[in-house]
Every structure is written in structure tokens, then in C-alpha cells.
Structure 1
């Protein structure tokens, strides 16, 4: 099996087992929390076992923290202003953490996605402890799968200790992009404004700390995000408008993870054609709503977010960077 398909299969298996457990106990609506835990398996792609374990452990920590904070905000009945502040702070600190740890995929995208999505779910769905246990249990299973895969791969070059040069500037881009997207989304009264903040992180994920952003590459990533999301929304409409049973929707979420991860490293826009319905379906399971309004909100939020991300990359520039910070 080629390495990328082996990796995608391992990621998919990371959600399959917990997803089947949730189906067996009659709680398909909780698959969102398992899905966030399974994203830990996306880290350490094609890396040697020891390095993969380290990166997946750190990625799992970010995801579980995001789910835990989001569940607490939901339980506290936090308003949209508090959510914008929380996601912005998490994105800024998460950027510093992921750059310092050298995580790949880079940036805090999955962490802020987990925080915003779980904070937007009603507090009666599951307790904060239950949400964390589902996410952490799934992430632990994914780490175990990573350890079991002993495929030998060349070790990557060692990274200098500490924050790379330009990490603070990169964190500033995330702060500007996510806060602007959140304020605009809330100001326009769009449901799920947290999606705009998540989308704002996407164009910045390809910016390497210490380097001036390649605006052309950022625009290309933004175009992939918009085109892939629109294609994914068409798929989502086909899935949600017939109003299938929750159990079937949970199976759809589990199935879509494999092609999402398989194409993520090959063609980002194509991967989003699978990832968008995955996240839309699991959101609908956790917080049922009008599917048409959900699709519209997702499309508008994506446009707001990518515009904010591109603007932040274009505005926060400068080649003079501070020296790398050591521990």
C-alpha cells in the first residue's frame, strides 16, 4: 500500500472504531467529538514512528484543549462576543505553539475549529467532561494506531529548539485575521460566525514563520478553499436535504474521513470537497437546524474568512525578524 494511502487508512480507522461504538450505544449525534479526536491522526504524516508519536501527541493536546474549552463555553452560555475573543486568543497562542513544536499540518486550524464548533453546540447535548472523554479517548486510540504502524521512514532534519524567527509575527497574522472575521461575521448576524474565523486561518497555514508571505500562494490557497467549499456544499445539500436518519449521517462522517485525508496532501481543493460535507453533517447531527440556512451560512462565512486571512497575510509583512527565541 503506498504510504499516503496507508496514512489515510490509519486516520480513517481512528474514527471508525469510536464511531461504531457511538452508533452501538445509540448516540450518533456525538460523532463530532470523536471526529475532532481522530484529527490527531492527521499529524506526523509520513514521519518516522517516534517523530510521528510526538507530533500526534502535541496535536491531540491542542484538539482536546479546544474541545474542552468549547464545551465549557457552551455550558456557560457564552455569547458571540466571548466566543470571538476565545477563538482569537486560541488562534494566536496556538500559532505560537504549533510553530514552536514544528507541527504539520501547520497552524492552529484544527484547534480553533474544535473550539468554535463545540462552543456553538447546545449545552444539553453532552457534559463538558463527556465531550473531553470522547475526544481524548479517540485521540488516544489514534496515537496507539500510530505506534502500531512501525513503517520505517527517513528521519527529518532536526529543528532548532525554541520558537522560530518570525513566529510572533505569524501569530499576529492569526490574531488579525480571526478577530476581523469574527467581528464581521457577528456584525452581519450570520449563524456559525466561528466558521468565518476558522476559514481565516486557512490561507495563513501555508505561510512559514520567518518568511515574508507569498501573497500569490496565499491567494491560491484561498481560491482552493472557496472552490472546494462550494463543491462540498453541493455534496452536503444532496446528503442533508432528504433528511436521512442520524445513524446514516454518522456513517457518512466516518466514510468521508478517508478521502479527505487521502487528498489533503495532493490537492487541497479536492480534499475540501469531502471535508466540507464531513464537517457540515457532523454539525447538523450535533445541532440540528434548517439545512438551507446552514449551507448559506457556511458559504458566506467562508468568503468572509478567506478574505480576512488574505488581508492579514498582505498587511503583516516585513523581512526583518527577531532572532529565534531559545528555551
Structure 2
């Protein structure tokens, strides 16, 4: 823990500032455009698109471009499915089933492509959050187009800044196809259990619980990303819970005074920079910024009682993290590479 604490506070390198600035710029431009158009409620669509910029940290420009295009496709798919479910007024159990199936496919794709950040978290979160946007707020195609435009902007911004020299790539040990399938099954099992428990608490709980269930499984064990060791899973789960609680405190400070849509949208834009700056240093600390970012943009899209929103997220996080830990502990598999 001492090492992690020192890693979080040591001086940031120039390339870390560049990366965080690129990610923030990917939301700043479309976010301000929506504010100028008087539609801060739609910032959720461009925010999910802007998460494309998070991919490719510490990679060469060419590799970052490729991975951001691939990650953008995953994010856009999640937003498109979510928009379709919203337009169809999908029943809660349909949302859980769709997110479970999407998590399985998304885990296969993201791990096969070796995308970083690891796992299908952003894709499944996009699906669930967009599915809960009230139907009629925006035409599905228009919402997907906003996301696509933000993705394109992020990919272009990703070409800026100093390029990293190409380093010798160590020989990569390819896991058997069964390893990919087993890890994807962990995600599907965790998300289905968390979604089912969330439905018992209420439909609004299901999405946050399912997203939280994916977090522990993104831990990388000593044998790689497809084999999360239980100690690493528990450590990441602790970060998820403590970081979310800290983020809920920040959200309360921003949301309870009821400042109005424009200040909340500006807060969403501002929070992305510190989120990404700390993401690779200390996941729990980054969540202190990322949690209010997510909650504020979902509140703008689908307003709810602030106190209910804040208290519900505590239970959702615990339920989801518990499901993720259980999936990692129960579903084991030997690598036959």
C-alpha cells in the first residue's frame, strides 16, 4: 500500500499530462458545443464517446490510433444498443439480458485486441446508462451520431503530442481460446447476478450494480489479464468501494445545492482531466473524480432525487463488487497455452 500511495503522489511525467489533456479535450469541444446549443442533457452521449481517448496510454502514435479506433467501435456499439433499448421501452429484464450478452462478447473482443484500459467496463456501462435515458429525449440515430462524432474527434486528438519511440515488444504468450471464453464467462456470470440483484432493488439499481461487477475482473494477476488472481481482485474491489464512496461525497457537494444544468455539465467536463491523470496511478483516487462525472451526466439525462441517487449507489456498488469477486473465485480455469 505504501508503494501505491507514493506512486499516486510522485511528480507526473510530461507524457502523462499530454495524455490526460488529450482525453479532456475530447470532451471539452463537443461538451461546450452542446452547452452552446442549450442541450446539456445530451452530454452523456459525447462523454461516452470521449472515453475513447483513454485508450492507448503509453503507446506509440500508430498503436494508439489503432487501439482507439477499435475501442471507439466497442463504445459506439454499447451506445447504439442502449439507444435502441431506450427507444423500444425495453423491460428491465431485457436490459439485464442484453448487458449480460454484450459483456460476454465485449470481453472476448477487448481481451483479444489487447485493449487498455482492460475489460468491457466502458462498453457495458455505456449500454446500460444510455438505455435508461428517457425515450424521446433524442432520436436514437442522433444520439449515436453525437457519440460517433466525439469518437472521431478523440481519435484525431490522439494523433497529437510527442510520439513515444518504438520499444522492443516482448514475445507475447497467447492463451488458448478456452482462456478467453472462461474469462468472458466470468464477466457474464458476474453481470447477470449483479443485474438480477439490482432488479430486486429496483431497475435504476441494475445498471450501476452490473457496471461495478465488471471492475474486479479487470484486475491483472501474475499470469496476465485472463487470469485475475484473487488477491488482485480483492485489491481492485477495495479501490472500487472506497473510491466510489469518496466520489459520492464530491457528488453531494456538487449536486445537493441544485446549481442547474449548465454548471453540472461544466463540472462533468472539468472532472475528466483529473480522472485520467490519476487513473494509472491510483484507481481509487481516480474514482473520486470519475464517480461524480458519471453521476452528474446521468442526472442531466434522467433527473432523479439527489439523496435517493446517492444512497442507492452505495448498495449498488457493494452488490456489484460482491458479484465480481464471487465470479473470480468460483469460475477458475487452467491456461493451456
Q: What TM-score, normalized to structure 1? A: 0.94
The equivalent residue for 1:127 is 139
Secondary structure of the residue aligned to 1:105 is: coil
Match of 1:94 among 74, 88, 106: 106
**Pairs within 5 Å for 1:193-208:** 193-207=206-220
Match of 1:249 in 2: 264
Partner Cα distance (2:75, 2:172) in 1: 23
Match of 2:118 among 106, 115, 131: 106
Aligned residues: 322
Distance 1:210 1:135, change over 3 A: closer
1:232, 1:36 → 2: CA distance?
19
- The match for 1:185 among 198, 206, 209 is 198
Q: Is 1:221 matched up with 2:236?
A: yes
In structure 2, the CA distance between the partners of 1:168 and 1:26, relative to structure 1 (3 Å rule), is same
**CA pair 64-292 structure 1, distance change in 2 beyond 3 A:** same
Q: For 1:132, what is the secondary structure of its paired residue?
A: helix
Q: CA deviation at 1:5?
A: 1.3
RMSD over aligned CA atoms reads 1.7
Q: Is the 8 A contact 1:8 1:261 kept in 2?
A: yes
Q: Tell me, yes or no, if the aligned pair for 1:100 and 1:164 is still in contact at 8 Å.
A: no
- Contact 1:11 1:142 survives alignment (8 Å): yes
| Cα distance, 1:163 vs structure 2 | 7.0
Answer yes or no: is the 8 Å Cα contact 2:183–2:226 preserved in 1.
Answer: no
**Partner residue of 1:40?**
52
CA distance in 1, matches of 2:56, 2:27: 17
Pairing 1:282-293 to 2, within 5 Å after superposition: 282-293=297-308
CA distance in 2 between counterparts of 1:153 and 1:87 reads 39
1:154 positional shift: 2.9
TM-aligned CA distance change 1:158 to 1:121, over 3 Å: farther
Matched, 1:66 2:88: no
How much does 1:212 deviate?
4.0
Query: Which shows bigger deviation, 202-211 or 156-165?
Result: 156-165
User: Among 187, 190, 196, which residue is 1:174 paired with?
Assistant: 187
Find the aligned partners of 1:163 and 1:138 in 2 and give their Cα distance: 36
Runs of 4+ in structure 1 off by over 6 angstroms are: 160-163
- Asked if 1 retains the 8 angstrom alpha-carbon contact of 2:27 and 2:47, the reply is yes
**Residues 210 and 45 (structure 1 numbering): CA distance in 2 closer, same or farther, change over 3 Å?**
closer
Structure 1 residue corresponding to 2:64, chosen from 43, 52, 75: 52
2:3 corresponds in structure 1 to none
* Structure 1 Cα separation of the partners of residues 262 and 171 of structure 2: 45
Separation in 2, partners of 1:212, 1:71 = 33
